[in-house]
Amino acid sequence: MIAADSSTLIAYIGNLGGADVDHLDEALASGDVVISPVVLSELLSDPKLPGHLADLVKRLPSFELGDGFWIRVGELRAHLIARKLRARLPDAMIAQSCIDHDVPLITRDADFRHFAKHGGLKLV
């Protein structure tokens, strides 16, 4: 099982290619993809997202947010900010949902490396 970030899903949708897109394509074919509710919201916020792709995204399973999720997000983000690292709130929410479910994230966004190095996020 892998979690897909918006950056890789957008590359996949746009046929941009790359190792991450190939890996995502294989995981989609085997039904091994999950997304964060934040990623779902980010993608569905695009008014130009074609209907068939919106339907694909809506069919992907998404993480349930457990008790204490928002506290863990805040603490994770504070941990990175204290080290003067970039930690955008949506990224912290995506990272924490992956950490909580022990699922690695596939992404093109280099900012997630901070969550991996300092927060326990696994990256594909």
pLDDT in tens, 73-106: 999 999 999 999 999 999 999 999 999 999 999 9
Residue 56: other Cβ atoms inside 10 A: 16
Mean pLDDT value of segment 2-22:
93
Q: What is the pLDDT of residue 15?
A: 87
Instruction: Give the confidence band of 34 by pLDDT, cuts at 50, 70, 90.
Output: very high
pLDDT band at 14 (very low <50, low <70, confident <90, very high): confident
Supply angle C-alpha 121, 88, 111, rounded to 5: 50
Q: Are 9 and 38 a contacting pair, CB within 8 Å?
A: no
32 contact partners, CB below 8 Å, separation of at least 6: 1, 2
Higher per-residue pLDDT: 30 or 52: 30
Q: Is residue 22's pLDDT more than 90?
A: yes
Q: Given this model, what pLDDT does residue 53 score?
A: 85
Q: Tell me the three state secondary structure of residue 62.
A: strand
- What pTM value is reported for the model? 0.93
- Domain ranges, ordered by start, for the chain: 2-59, 69-119
Q: How confident is the model at residue 56 (pLDDT cuts 50, 70, 90)?
A: confident
